[in-house]
Amino acid sequence: MVHRLAGLILTLVLPTLITSLLQNCQNFTPKCICGQEDYYGKHDQYIVNCTNTGFTDAKILENLPSETQVLIFSGNKISTLPWNVFGTMNNHSELRVIDMSNNGIKEIRGKSYHHVPNVERLILNHNEISIATSEPNNHHHPRVFSNFDSLSELHLTNAFADNTSEDLAADLHDIFINSELRHLNKLHLEQNEITGFRDPNVFCSLPNLMDLHLGDNLLRDLHFNLSCLEHLRFLDLERNQVMALKDADLAVLDSFPQRHKNLAIDLSGNPFVCGHEMEHLCAWLRVSQVRIRNKNAITCTTSNSINTDKHTEGHSDCLPHTLLMTQVQPPSSHTLVTFVLTALTVVLLSLVCLLLYVNRDQISYQLRPVIDSVTRKVQYTSIGKQEEHEMVL
């Protein structure tokens, strides 16, 4: 009886459920894939995946299924995100992740993102967004992320236009303040050619920020406020243009473990200059409670030129087997003599080869009897070995 009842329920409900799902996704097929899959460790997430589908506008997103938890809409050609990109009717309360990376997005309208109260991760990597107020024909929207009430991760790696002015950092500050991203704990700003921040309190409007990724930019020092970030646990500064860290910067970093806060920092790939300031940094690295990631990759150079190719490497005394010192040295007299001898040897070998080529006919005539004799001996030896091998078989 129970089995019959269960079968009857499945017979009545399953077709309706399938039809509903098909109707919800019918505007996206066959270009997109809809269905439940695992995503970043979470099982059975309803995902709408429109990767490299060739869409040239975002109008299709107005019909996004209401049960969508993860939207992957990347690799398309969308220059502008219009108002209410997800429509005005549905409240996408199930939506948790929006990935709009690599779409060539240049402008995000001030009211583009509505009805996204529970989105936790927004990914806009590798776009061409122009937000600087000094840029011509640009619409500055400081409240562009204001509707993300639950946003905890904002990914903006290589997200901004290459021709964005130096005011980019200032305009980012306006966005952080006006969007009120109070739940944000991870911010990615790598590869944006940021040279500095006009306002040192640029990140202070993000009180719950834990991970700040600023790698692969053009920062020269830590002239922005970190003390206001009570929950900061990781600062990524790898591959910037930092040549030295001031005492005030080191003191701010030390203030975290002094307040029993765990802090890690990545300084690898920066062009530190060897000398007194580097020795001071070495001393700090030995005693600080701040965890240094990729410590073995921290180097320094004796040259003021960052883009130098000639260097030798050795271990520094300040951090044995940990900090490598890169020294640019002028060529010694021994090196110069070796270079001259090598050059003369190459010239001599070239002349010998040229002489042999010019007299190749005469040399070949002189060597012919010797070659014929050796050839006959080799042939006899080979035949003898073949016959011996056959006899053994």
**pLDDT score for 166:** 66
Helix (H, G, I), strand (E, B) or coil at 122: strand
Distance CA 96, CA 102 (A): 19
3-state SS, residue 301: strand
Answer yes or no: are the C-beta atoms of 215 and 237 closer than 8 Å.
yes
Q: What pLDDT digit, counting tens, does each position of 103-155 carry?
A: 999 999 878 898 899 999 999 999 999 876 555 555 567 788 988 999 999 99
Q: Which of 142, 96, 149, 147 is nearest to 123 (CA)?
A: 96
* Cβ neighbourhood burial of 9 (10 Å; 0-12, 13-18, 19+): exposed
Cβ-based neighbours of 190, under 8 Å, separated by 6 or more: 157, 158, 213, 214, 215, 216, 217, 236
Q: Looking up tokens 């930092």, which residue turns up?
A: 242
Q: Are 53 and 76 in contact (CB under 8 A)?
A: yes
Tokens, residue 19: 């039809």
Q: What is the structure's pLDDT at 333?
A: 61
Cα dihedral sign for 226, 227, 229, 233? positive
What does the alpha-carbon distance between residue 34 and residue 21 come to, in Å, rounded to a whole number?
9
Check residue 214 and give its pLDDT: 97
Is the model's pLDDT at 382 over the cut of 50? no
pLDDT at 244 over 80: yes
Work out the mean pLDDT of the chain and round it to a whole number: 80
The one-letter amino acid at 153: E
Instruction: Judge contact between 218 and 197, C-beta under 8 A.
Output: no
- Tell me the average pLDDT across 267-280: 92
Q: Which of 211, 220, 323, 341 is CA-nearest to residue 265?
A: 211
Residues with Cβ within 8 Å of residue 197, at least 6 apart in sequence: 169, 170, 173, 223, 224
Taking the complete model, does pTM exceed 0.75, yes or no? no
Asked if residue 260 has pLDDT above 80, the reply is yes
Distance CA 209, CA 230 (A): 8
User: Percentage of the chain surpassing pLDDT 70?
Assistant: 74
Residue type, 220: R
Alpha helices (H) in the chain, listed in sequence order: 2-25, 168-179, 247-258, 276-287, 333-358, 360-392
Picking from 95, 117, 119, the residue whose alpha carbon sits closest to that of residue 47 is 95
* Structure tokens that stand for 261 in this block: 């806060």
Angle between helices 360-392 and 333-358 (to 10 degrees): 90
Least confident of 236-245, 280-289, 306-315: 306-315
CA distances from 338 to 335, 341, 344, 345 (A): 5, 5, 10, 11
Q: Phi/psi of residue 213, each to 5°?
A: -105, 110
